């Protein structure tokens, strides 16, 4: 496959040289084509022009851009569709030509048969001679050439383009058909050549794709190893183009740089973990590796300075811990005395709060019972109203039934009259109306019974209406009584609710007072516990300082011979001492801050020889001054004279 426009020039020139031949073949075919096939020949000409247009663009891309671009354009969907359309038109034309040959043969056969039946009797001898001549002529001049052309077209259809087309030099229709078949053979050769070129291009693309697949597989393995932390893998690609080789070299270079950097960084971090703070990353890196190198070296420098400072200040922290221990002992004794007194006050307050809570609960229960009684009265009143409504509906229904009974009574009366008239008419009819008279008598009897029953039911309904009216009156009276009971219950419930609210307020006040005393007691107990814990923390701090000295002695900073005054003053020392105190003391509610009355002179007697951290010294002085200071009690405004002795510490 050509890789440069210069290498593709012979191919491009060969393609362009075929364009005039194709146009000439189409022009010749248009001249010799029959009238019924000129439309098909026109389609062939249009398809050939489209084909020339597409191939011209392919040649231009091969010369101006690259053979790859020409190959891509020559195998796109539009180009393939154009070639398929040309092939389809040529196949259609060849099939039409073959059908035309068959028709000519059929016409010749029909003509021969007509000649055989024209003069069968008149000129038998002449007919026989004519038939012989006609058969020989048809065989040599028409049938055999058509059969020869048919065989040639069958071979062309099978793909054999090396066959020779006979009878092309004849001036008649057979010669025209032969020349058309010759044009078809040349077109088929061109299509076969294009198909061969297409197969060669496809094979080249397949080979390149297989090569790319192998490279991608190897790259995937190397990338997977790098993702797993193994940067030692390398790519070994031999059968690849220059671009792929450059890609492989770049990936190998990345793995080499990353492997070297991670190895050196791991060695530096391992040295830090082993206590050696003198090791540094010395190799010159770029980009993010340079940032990581600077971060590691800066971390080692700061850690070295911090460890050196911790070594220099641990002795001063021990002195401050002993002073804190002395102050904590004194504070513990005073807080124990305060806690005992406040505990008795809290017990008395709790008893009073319990009594008031019981009274408030009883008031709440009474209010709840009164509310339930009021709800029951409201429910009874609602039920009474519903009963009155039901009685009214019953009275209305009874009235409607009375109306219906009256209608039934009227119907019975009218039926009685009709039966009487029927009996009279039956009597007039004599013997013929006796049966009808019996029926009229029975109907009259039934009408009389219906009237009597309607009167009885009407009397019962009237009596029921009277009873219903009395019931409605009684239910209304009961509803009025329930309304008065409900009003009285509401007054009782309101009174009990006021009592309950007052009791609740008293209980809340006593409860708040009890909580305040309990809170004071709790804070005092916490102060006592904190004082004891401070002493224990100071002792533990002394032990921790010894452990700290042992830990920092394991680090080699390269500054062991330098004096303490040469170290910087980090903030970590004070925060470490504060964390040591917090880990010993249990989690309790924070006590109120105590104002420091005066600083202990003992805290400022000795100034450290080295550079003691300022925050650590302030922490020790404040703790010691707190242990020596006596807190001044403050009066709490509680609004009552008998509570004037309460104090908040």
Is the domain of 185 the same as that of 49? yes
Supply the DSSP string of 426-452, one letter for each residue. HHHHGGGGHHHHHHHHHHHHHHHHHHH
491 assigned to some structural domain: yes
DSSP letters spanning 142-195: IIHHHHHHHHHHHHHHHT-------STT-SSHHHHHHHHHHHHHHHHHHHHHHH
Classify residue 278: in a domain, yes or no.
no
The mean pLDDT value of the chain amounts to 69
Q: Which of 523, 553, 583 finishes a domain? A: 553
- Report if residue 125 sits inside a domain: yes
- What's the CA gap between 500 and 506, in Å, rounded? 10
d(CA 501, CA 490): 16
pLDDT band at 114 (very low <50, low <70, confident <90, very high): low
Using the 3D structure, point to which of 534, 553, 572 is the last residue of a domain: 553
pLDDT computed for residue 600 by the predictor: 36
pLDDT at 101: 60
> Over pLDDT 70: what percentage of the chain?
70
- Assigned domain for 599 exists: no
Per-residue pLDDT tens for 530-539? 777 777 777 7
Q: Is residue 609 part of a domain?
A: no
209 shares its domain with 242: no
* Per-residue pLDDT at 20 exceeds 80: yes
Q: Give the pair of three-digit tokens for residue 61.
A: 């891309």
User: What is the number of structural domains in the chain?
Assistant: 3
388 vs 118, more confident: 388
183 shares a domain with 150: yes
* Residue 381 resides in a domain: yes
Q: Are residues 46 and 157 in the same domain?
A: yes
pLDDT bin (cut points 50, 70, 90) of residue 59 is confident
Query: How far out from the chain centre does Cα 592 lie?
Result: 51
**Partner residues linked to 648 by β-bridges:** 634
409 and 493 belong to one structural domain: yes
Q: What is the pLDDT of residue 614?
A: 55
Kindly report the pTM of this predicted structure.
0.29
- Residue that wins the pLDDT comparison between 440 and 596: 440
- Same domain? 188 vs 255: no
According to the model, what pLDDT value does residue 161 have? 67
Question: Residue 152 pLDDT more than 50?
Answer: yes
What integer is the mean pLDDT of 505-534?
Answer: 77
Q: Are residues 247 and 394 in the same domain?
A: no
- Confidence band of 98 (pLDDT split at 50, 70, 90): low
- Whole-number Cα distances in Å, 184 to 153, 272, 344: 9, 87, 126
Any domain includes 507: yes
Tokens for 527, please give them.
């102060």
Mean pLDDT for 26-46 is 77
Give residue 352's domain range: 344-553
- 648 three-state secondary structure: strand
Residue 197: pLDDT band with limits 50, 70, 90: confident
Mean pLDDT in residue range 298-315: 80
Handedness of CA 377, 383, 386, 391 (dihedral sign): negative
* Least confident among 155-169, 365-379, 555-569: 555-569
Q: Does 604 score more than 80 pLDDT? A: no
What would the two tokens of residue 6 be?
């210069």
For residue 566, give the DSSP letter: G
Q: Are residues 241 and 353 in the same domain?
A: no
In a domain, 368, yes or no: yes
32 pLDDT more than 70: yes
**Cα separation, 151 vs 158, whole angstroms:** 11
pLDDT category at 596 given cuts 50, 70, 90 is: very low
Percent of the chain scoring above 90 in pLDDT: 0
pLDDT band at 602 (very low <50, low <70, confident <90, very high): very low
Per residue in 310-343, is it b (16+ CB within 10 Å) or e — as a string? bbbbbebbbbbbebbbbbbeebbebbeebbeebe
328-347 per-position pLDDT tens digit: 777 777 777 777 777 777 77
Q: How confident is the model at residue 103 (pLDDT cuts 50, 70, 90)?
A: low
State whether the Cα torsion 299-300-306-309 is positive or negative. Answer: negative
243-252, 367-376, 444-453, 551-560: which has the minimum mean pLDDT?
A: 551-560
* 132 and 39 in a common domain: yes
Question: Are 169 and 256 members of one domain?
Answer: no
Name the band, by pLDDT with cuts 50, 70 and 90, for residue 567. Answer: very low
Q: How far apart are CA 135 and CA 130, in angstroms?
A: 8
Q: For position 524, which CATH number holds?
A: 1.10.287.950
What is the reported pLDDT for 315?
66
Q: Are residues 104 and 18 in the same domain?
A: yes
Average pLDDT over residues 560-583: 40
Say how many C-beta atoms besides its own lie within 10 A of residue 219's C-beta. 16
Ranking 49-63, 220-234, 554-568 by mean pLDDT, the lowest is 554-568
Residues 241 and 351 in one domain: no
């Amino acid at each position: 496959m050509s890789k440069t426009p210069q290498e593709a020039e012979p191919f491009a020139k060969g393609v362009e040289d075929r364009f005039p031949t194709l146009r000439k073949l189409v022009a010749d075919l248009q001249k010799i084509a029959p009238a019924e096939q000129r439309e098909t020949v026109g389609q062939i000409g249009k398809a050939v022009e489209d084909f020339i247009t597409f191939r011209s663009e392919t040649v231009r891309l091969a010369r101006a851009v690259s053979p790859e671009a020409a190959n891509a354009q020559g195998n796109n969907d539009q180009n393939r569709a154009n070639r398929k359309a040309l092939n389809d038109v040529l196949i259609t034309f060849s099939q039409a030509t073959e059908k035309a040959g068959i028709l000519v043969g059929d016409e010749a056969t029909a003509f021969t048969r007509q000649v055989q039946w024209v003069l069968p009797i008149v000129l038998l001898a002449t007919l026989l001679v004519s038939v012989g001549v006609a058969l020989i002529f048809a065989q040599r001049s028409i049938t055999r050439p058509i059969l020869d052309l048919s065989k040639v077209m069958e071979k062309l259809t099978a793909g054999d383009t090396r066959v020779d087309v006979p009878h092309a030099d004849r001036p008649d229709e057979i010669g025209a058909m032969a020349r058309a078949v010759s044009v078809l053979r040349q077109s088929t050769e061109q299509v076969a050549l294009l198909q061969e070129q297409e197969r060669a291009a496809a094979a080249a693309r397949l080979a390149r794709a297989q090569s790319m697949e192998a490279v991608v597989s190897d790259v995937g393995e190397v990338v997977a190893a790098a993702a797993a932390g193994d940067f030692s893998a390398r790519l070994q690609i031999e059968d690849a183009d220059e671009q792929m080789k450059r890609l492989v070299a770049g990936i190998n270079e990345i793995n080499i740089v990353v492997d070297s950097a991670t190895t050196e960084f791991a060695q530096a971090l391992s040295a830090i973990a082993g206590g050696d703070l003198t090791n540094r990353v010395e190799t010159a890196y770029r980009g993010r590796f340079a940032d990581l190198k600077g971060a590691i070296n800066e971390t080692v420098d700061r850690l070295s300075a911090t460890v050196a400072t911790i070594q220099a200040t641990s002795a001063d922290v021990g002195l401050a811990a002993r002073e804190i221990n002395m102050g904590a002992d004194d504070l513990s004794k005073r807080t124990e005395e305060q806690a005992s007194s406040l505990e008795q006050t809290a017990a008395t307050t709790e008893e009073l709060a319990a009594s008031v809570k019981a009274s408030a609960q009883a008031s709440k229960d009474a209010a709840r019972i009164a509310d339930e009684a009021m709800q029951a009265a409201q429910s009874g009143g609602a039920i009474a109203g519903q009963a009155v409504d039901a009685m009214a509906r019953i009275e209305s229904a009874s009235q409607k039934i009375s109306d219906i009974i009256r209608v039934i009574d009227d119907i019975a009366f009218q039926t009685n009259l009709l039966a009487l008239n029927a009996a009279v008419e039956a009597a007039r009819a004599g013997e013929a109306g006796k049966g009808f008279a019996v029926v009229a008598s029975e109907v009259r009897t039934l009408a009389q019974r219906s009237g009597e029953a309607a009167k009885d039911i009407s009397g019962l309904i009237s009596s029921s209406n009277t009873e219903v009216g009395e019931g409605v009156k009684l239910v209304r009276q009961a509803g009025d009584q329930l309304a008065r009971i409900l009003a009285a219950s509401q007054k009782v419930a309101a009174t009990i609710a006021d009592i309950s609210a007052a009791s609740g307020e008293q209980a809340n006040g006593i409860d708040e007072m009890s909580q305040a005393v309990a809170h004071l007691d709790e804070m005092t107990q916490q102060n006592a516990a904190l004082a004891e814990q401070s002493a224990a923390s100071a002792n533990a701090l002394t032990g921790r300082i010894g452990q700290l000295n042992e830990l920092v002695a394991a680090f080699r900073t390269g500054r062991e011979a330098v004096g303490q005054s040469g170290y910087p003053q980090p903030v970590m020392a004070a925060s470490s001492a504060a964390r040591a105190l917090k880990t010993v003391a249990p989690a309790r509610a924070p006590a109120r801050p105590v104002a420091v009355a005066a600083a202990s002179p003992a805290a400022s007697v000795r100034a450290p020889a080295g550079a003691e951290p300022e925050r650590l010294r302030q922490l020790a002085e404040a703790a010691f001054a707190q242990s020596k200071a006596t807190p001044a009690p403050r009066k709490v405004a509680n609004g009552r004279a008998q509570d004037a002795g309460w104090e908040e510490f």
